[in-house]
Amino acid sequence: MNDDVFALWVYLARTPLLWLTVTILVYCACDRVSAALHRTPLANPVLMSMVLVGLMVRGTGTPYADYFDGAQFIHFLLGPATVALGIPLYQNRQLVLRAIVPMGCALLAGSVTAMVSAVLIARFLGASPMIVASIAPKSVTAAVAMGISGRLGGDPALTAVLVILTGILGAIVVTPLMNLLRVTDMRARGFAAGLAAHGIGTARAFQVDLLAGTFAGIAMGLNALLTAVILPFLL
């Protein structure tokens, strides 16, 4: 009997089906919990799903590469999702064009702040050059950040993790922080979320407000661009 169970496990562990299913269903459950808690920032669906799925992968002794064999089909959609951000952007083009000056100023100030503050703090605390290069692009969307980090002597896989952690952190703090700072302009709130916390911040912004989400998407795209260009000169 135990042998049968083991044989079944060996079979399941080898197909992409298992971890693809687990990832989607765990996310659905966590998203329900987040909705039931009225989208309170701390009940972040990415954070909850990551912890649960991570525990399962660890608990079953599954190598990450095997997990990723299944989960890559979801990961792949990050690219098309970035393209699809063009749709709300086009639909709101009049609003976006009207805000082009504040967007440009906020982009430059925010992008430089995100890079410089991370690099200075890491260096001040005695981080190795590899760690500094891995942390520097943390506010940029994962695929791009990994490319930047690899070119500058960082560890792309570590960068991916730091990017996700930054995104989750940003998505959790953005609403309370903006309320504290008394920023009521949804465009400004969304733009900040997308710039500092890339796609996860953008997902959070879409949860709160459609206009905020649109501006978050723009900020995410522009910051990926600007960081890729500027960062090599800062390190």
Partner 1 sequence: MLLSLGLILLCQLIGEAIARGTGIAVPGPVIGLVLCVLLLATRDRIGRLAPVELRDGTFEQTGRGILSHLSLLFIPAGVGVVQRLDVLAGNALIIVMALTVSTLLSLAVTAKVFAFVASRTARPSGTP
**Near partner 1 in 189-208, by CB under 8 A:** 189, 191-193, 195-197, 199-200, 202-203, 206
Count of positions on this chain that bind partner 1 (CB under 8 A): 106
List the structure tokens of 164: 């996700």
Site for partner 1 in 7-66 (CB under 8 A): 23-24, 26-27, 31, 45-46, 49-50, 53-54, 57-58, 64
211 touches partner 1 (CB under 8 A): no
Distance of alpha carbon 157 from alpha carbon 159, whole angstroms: 5
- At its nearest, how many Å lie between partner 1 and the CB of residue 7? 26
Report the residue number, 89 or 235, with the smaller CB distance to partner 1. Answer: 89
Q: Is 74 in the site for partner 1 (CB under 8 A)?
A: yes
Interface residue with partner 1 among 18, 92, 133, 135 (CB under 8 A) is: 135
Stretch that binds partner 1, among 3-11, 35-43, 114-122 (CB under 8 A): 114-122
> Can you give the length of the chain in residues?
235
Cα–Cα distance, 130 to 47 (Å, whole number): 26
Kindly tell me which of 1 and 233 has the beta carbon lying closer to partner 1.
Answer: 233
Contact residue for partner 1 among 18, 139, 149, 154 (CB under 8 A): 139
Of 71, 133, 152, 211, which one interacts with partner 1 (CB under 8 A)? 71
Phi, psi of 53 (to 5 degrees): -65, -40
142 binds partner 1 (CB under 8 A): yes
Residues with Cβ within 8 Å of 212's Cβ and at least 6 positions away in sequence, in order, are 186, 187, 189, 190, 193, 205, 206
**Contact (Cβ atoms closer than 8 angstroms) between residue 64 and residue 54:** no
Pick the closer one to partner 1 by CB: 26 or 208.
26
- The minimum distance between CB 145 and partner 1, in angstroms, equals 10
Nearer to partner 1 among residue 8 and residue 108 (C-beta): 108
Please, are residues 79 and 195 in contact by the beta-carbon 8 Å criterion?
Answer: no
With residues binned 3-state (H G I as helix, E B as strand, rest as coil), the percentages for the chain, rounded to 5, are: 85, 0, 15
Comparison of 202 and 208: residue with beta carbon closer to partner 1: 202
CA distance linking residue 234 with residue 112, whole number of Å? 10
In the bound state with partner 1, the residue whose beta carbon lies nearer, of 12 and 99, is: 99
Kindly report the backbone phi and psi dihedral angles of residue 155, in degrees, each rounded to the nearest multiple of 5, phi listed first: -105, 110
Query: What CA–CA distance (Å, rounded) separates 50 from 55?
Result: 8
